[in-house]
Structure 1
Amino acid sequence: MMISKCPSLKQWDSIPDDIALNIASFLQVSDICSLGSCSRFWRDLCASDFLWISLSKQRWPSLDFSKIGIVRDYDEESDQQSSLSAKVWRSFYINWHQVMAGRATAIVKFVKQSSRDESLEVGDFLRAIGELCSMEFGFKDVQLFLFTTKQNVLLNLIGLHYSLFWLGVPAEDITEALCSCQISERQVCVRWWKLGRWFHGFRLRDESRLRRVSLSELAISKDEEVMGVLRRGAIHEVLRIQISAESPRTTWAYVHPQG
Structure 2
Amino acid sequence: MCALGGCSRSWRTACDANCVWERLFRCRWPAAAAEAAVASRVQGWKALYINQHRRMGVAVSNVIESVGSSLNNGSLESEYYLKAIADLALIADIGFLDVQFFLFSRNHSAIINLVGLHYSIASLHVPPTEVSKALQARQVAGRKVRVNLLKLGRWFYGFRLPDEHESRKISLSELTMAEGAEILAILNRGAVHEVFRLRISLADIDK
Give the SS at the match of 2:179.
Answer: coil
1:39 equivalent to 2:9? Answer yes
Deviation at 1:169, TM superposition (A): 1.1
Cα distance in 1 for residues equivalent to 2:24 and 2:34 = 13
Cα distance in 2 for residues equivalent to 1:61 and 1:88 = 17
Which runs of 5 or more structure 2 residues have no equivalent in the other structure? Answer: none
Q: Between Structure 1 and Structure 2, which shows a larger proportion of helix residues?
A: 2
Deviation at 1:247, TM superposition (A): 6.5
Identical residues among aligned pairs (%)? 38
Q: Does 1 or 2 have the higher relative contact order (CA < 8 Å, sep 6+)?
A: 2
> Contact between 1:147 and 1:159, CA under 8 Å: does it hold in 2?
yes
Give 2:69's aligned residue: 113
Which runs of 5 or more structure 1 residues have no equivalent in the other structure? Answer: 1-29, 74-82, 249-259
Describe the shift of the 1:64–1:206 C-alpha distance in structure 2 as closer, same or farther (beyond 3 A).
farther
Give 1:59's aligned residue: 28
Deviation at 1:201, TM superposition (A): 3.0
Give 1:218's aligned residue: 175
Cα distance in 1 for residues equivalent to 2:202 and 2:20 = 41
Give 1:72's aligned residue: 38
TM norm structure 2:
0.87
4+ residue runs over 6 A deviation: none
What is the number of equivalent residue pairs in this alignment? 204
One-letter amino acid of the structure 1 residue matched with residue 22 of structure 2: I
Describe the shift of the 1:165–1:198 C-alpha distance in structure 2 as closer, same or farther (beyond 3 A).
same
Which residues in structure 2 correspond to 1:16-31 (within 5 Å)?
Answer: 30=1
Cα deviation, 1:106-159, whole Å, max 9, x if unaligned, reads: 122111110022110011011111111111321111111111111111101101
Cα distance in 1 for residues equivalent to 2:77 and 2:154 = 24
1:96 equivalent to 2:96? Answer no
Aligned partner of 1:171 among 128, 135, 141: 128
> Contact between 1:189 and 1:210, CA under 8 Å: does it hold in 2?
yes
> Contact between 2:5 and 2:16, CA under 8 Å: does it hold in 1?
no
Aligned partner of 1:153 among 100, 105, 110: 110
> Contact between 1:221 and 1:227, CA under 8 Å: does it hold in 2?
no
Cα distance in 1 for residues equivalent to 2:178 and 2:81 = 18
Cα distance in 2 for residues equivalent to 1:149 and 1:71 = 34
Give the number of the structure whose alpha-carbon radius of gyration is greater.
1
